[in-house]
Amino acid sequence: MQPPLSANILIVELGERLAAAAGGSLLRELGATVIVVEPADAARDGTKWALGPNMAAGKRNVSLDDNTESRDAIAALIDRADAVIASSDLDRPWPDAIQAALNKAAIVCDVTAFGRDATGAFAGPAFSDGMLQSIAGFVDITGDGDEAPIACRAPVLEFSSGIYAAASVLLALRARDSQGIAQHVALSIFDNAFSQLTTFLPRHLTGAASKRIGNHHPGMSPWNTYRASDGWVMICSGSNEQWLRICQMIGRPDLATDERYSTPTLRLSRNAEIDDLVGQWVGRQTISECIGQLDAANIPVSPVARVADIFTEPNLLHRGIIDRVETEQGPIRFPGVLFRGTRNAGRKATAMPKRGEANAQLHALLPTARRPATSASAPASAPPQPVLQGVRVLEMGQYTTAPLCTRILGALGADIVKIEPPAGDPARGLPPLRDGVQSYFFTMSNGDKRSIAIDMRSPAAKPLFTALVGKADILVENMKPGALAKFGFGAAELEKINPRLIYCAISGFGDDAPDRGRGAMDTTIQAAAGIMDLIRQNDTPYKHGVSLMDITGGQMGMLFVLAALEARNRTGLGQFIDLSMLDAAAWMTQLEWNGATTGSCAIHPCGDGYVALPQDAAEHAARHADKSRDALCAHLAAQGIAASPVLSITEAAEHALVSDRNLLVDCPAPDTGDWPLFACPIRLAKTPPKVSRALGSVGIDQDAILRDWGLTPAP
C-alpha cells in the first residue's frame, strides 16, 4: 500500500530541535519527501544530531558547505519546497541567501520553546525539554509527594510538539490548496505543555492545590503500582463497575456495597486503605497470575516494563514498531510504521542517510515551483476561512484520547458531534464538579463540540446512527476493538454506509494486536511501553504526572486523520485507521533504543523549592542551595548555565505566559454558563484556530445537529 501523502510533497527540515526532527520523521512516514539540511561543520553534538540519528531514517541529507554554490542551491530548495520546519530559538544563524529564502517561504512551521510570536522575557530563550517540563508544572506533579519531583528522561514535550508540527504543515498545505493561502505557523512547546494539564488544572480552578501523588490518579481509585512476588504491576480502576469487580477478586465483596467506597470521590479519600487491601492481594501472586485474573475481570493492568523489555513485547513485535538497520557504526533501532490504514500505510524507512548523501542529486530533487502566487506576508485575496470548515466529525469518545483528537479538529473549524450514551460520557462525573453537576475535566476536554444522545444498545438507534455516518467525513472513537462491530457497525459495514468516511479507532494495543481485547488506560500503557522506566526514584518506577499516552494517542489520531483527508482528496475514498496507544508510547522512548539518552535535567533543591538545570551543573548549584529559586536561576544564568524553576500547577496556571498568550479562554456552554477552555496550540497565522464553545448537558444539541446535517429530527 502507498502512504497517504504524495511523495511530491517536499519538506525541508532545518530545525535543530528534536521537535523539528520528529515532525519531519512523521511527515516522511506519511509519504512526503523530507530533506534535512545539515551544516557541514556540525560536530553532531547538538540536540538533534547527537541524540536522534535514528530519526534521520528515510530522509535525504543535504550538507551546507561553505561556498556560494551550496548556499544558493539550498536557498533554491527552500524556495521550491512545499513547507519548511525550523526551530529559530535553537537554530544557528543561516547564511544570508538561505535566511532570505526562509523569510519569503510560503509555509514555515517554526517550533520554539515559547513561540516565535512570544514577547518580553520569553521572546528568545531556548529552554530544553526538561526545563519546559519544569516551568509548565509537569515535574512538580511527577513522583512521590514525600520525595523530590522527577523529570521524565524522555523528551516527551519535543516529541508531542513534533506531532503538532507535522499536523500544522498538513493544515497549512490544506489551506494553500483550498484557499490559495500561504502562511507561517508559530508553535510553542510551552503552549502544548500547558494544554496537557486537563487532569490537574481543574483543582486549581476550584481553589485547591495539586500535589505529587505518585502513581495514583487525581480522580480515580484504586489506581497505583503494586509489587507482585516477581516485580511491579500497574492497576487502573476507572469506574464504579470496575471497583465492584475488584472487590470480588480480592475476597472483599462486602466493600462493594459499603457506602464509604461508593463513589470515585469517596474512594480517593480512602486511597491508603484501598492500596493496602489491593497490595496484599497482588503481593501473594506473580505478575503473570495477577494480570491473568485482572484481564479476565476486564480491569486495565500491565507489568512495569523496562525499555529493553519492549524489544520483545508481543504486541510491538506483531505490529513491527521497532525496526533495525545496519550502519557503519553498527545496528540502529528506529521506529517502524505507525500509520496503519485499510487503503494507505505509513512508509517504512530502509536506509540511514550519511551527511551530504543527496548533495550530488540536489538539482534533480528540486521540483517545479508549487507555491501559491502570494507569499506568506501578502494579504489574501478573500477573507480566509477556518481550515477545516465544512468537515463533519462524529466522536464516540470518553475521558481523554478521542476527545482530545476532535477538540483540536473543532478549534480548526470542523463540526464535531459527540455521540454519548443517555447517561453521558463517564468523564462527566469526574471530580471536581461545578455546582455538583458537570466535571471541569470533562468540559475542558470537550471544547467546540455538540452533544447528541444515542443508546447504541437499542434497535431504534440504528437508523439514526446510520444516517449520521452517511453524512460524516470522520468518525473517531477510543473504545475497545470490536465494540462498534457488536452493534453491527464494524469498519466494513461503515464503509458500505459511507465509502468516503475516515474512521479512526484508537485503542490500547491496536485492532489486530494479540492483546486487542485487553483493557488499557494511560498509565498501563506508560508502564508497558517503558515510559515509567524513565521516571525512577530509588528504583521505584513512576508514571508521568500528566496523562501522557492518552494525550499522545489523541494528538497522533488528529495527525493521521488529517493525512487521511489528504489521501481522500486524491482518491475520493475514506478508510479505517487502526491507531495503537502502545505504538505511540514506544515511539516516545526511541532515543533510548540505541543506548543514547537526552540526559534529563537535574532537579535540585533550593531555599523555596526546586530548580531544573543540566546534570553537570548540579555540584555548582549545591553550593548555593540556600538561594531562592529565582535567585539561583539568576545566579546560574550569570555563569552561563540555563536553569528554570520547578513550578507548581498553580504557579504555572498563574504564569504571565498563560495570560499573555491567552492559553485559557472563557467560552459559553448552552446551558451551564461560561467555562475556561484550553486554547489550541497550533497557531496558523492566517487561518487561526478559534476556541469558542463549551459542551452542555447530554443530548442538548440533538435537534440542532439533525437540522444542520439535513436529517429529520427524531420523534
Average pLDDT over residues 440-449: 97
Q: How confident is the model at residue 373 (pLDDT cuts 50, 70, 90)?
A: very low
pLDDT at 232: 95
Average pLDDT over residues 668-673: 95
Give percent above pLDDT 90 in the chain. Answer: 79
Average pLDDT over residues 437-461: 96
CB 155 within 8 A of CB 598: yes
pLDDT at 327: 74
Which CATH fold topology does 392-517+547-590+658-708 show?
Rossmann fold (3.40.50)
Where in the chain do CATH 3.40.50.10540 domains reside? 10-199+337-381, 392-517+547-590+658-708
- Give the pairing of strands 602-606 and 609-613: antiparallel
d(CA 204, CA 653): 8
CB 445 within 8 A of CB 407: yes
Instruction: Go through 562-588 and write b for each residue having 16 or more CB atoms within 10 A of its CB, e for each that does not.
Output: bbbbbbbeeeebbbbbbbbbbbbbbbb
Q: How confident is the model at residue 535 (pLDDT cuts 50, 70, 90)?
A: very high
C-alpha cell belonging to residue 670: 448552552
Q: How confident is the model at residue 43 (pLDDT cuts 50, 70, 90)?
A: low
The highest-confidence range among 110-124, 426-440, 479-493, by mean pLDDT, is 479-493
Q: What is the pLDDT of residues 155-206, one digit of tens each?
A: 999 999 999 999 999 999 999 999 999 999 999 999 999 999 998 999 999 9
pLDDT at 46: 52
pLDDT at 360: 85
pLDDT at 98: 95
- Give the pairing of strands 602-606 and 664-669: unpaired
Assigned CATH class of 10-199+337-381: alpha beta
Q: Mean pLDDT across the chain, nearest whole number?
A: 92
Average pLDDT over residues 308-333: 90
pLDDT over threshold 90, residue 445:
yes
pLDDT at 370: 54
Q: What is the pLDDT of residues 220-233, one digit of tens each?
A: 899 999 999 999 99
pLDDT over threshold 60, residue 374:
no
Q: How confident is the model at residue 378 (pLDDT cuts 50, 70, 90)?
A: low
pLDDT over threshold 80, residue 434:
yes
pLDDT over threshold 60, residue 448:
yes
Average pLDDT over residues 284-292: 95
DSSP annotation string for 95-159: PHHHHHHHHH-S-EEEEESS-TT--GGGSS----HHHHHHHTTTGGGSS-TTS-----SS-HHHH
The highest-confidence range among 23-32, 322-331, 518-527, by mean pLDDT, is 23-32
Q: How confident is the model at residue 369 (pLDDT cuts 50, 70, 90)?
A: low
Give backbone dihedrals phi and psi of 290, rounded to 5 degrees, phi first.
Answer: -65, -45
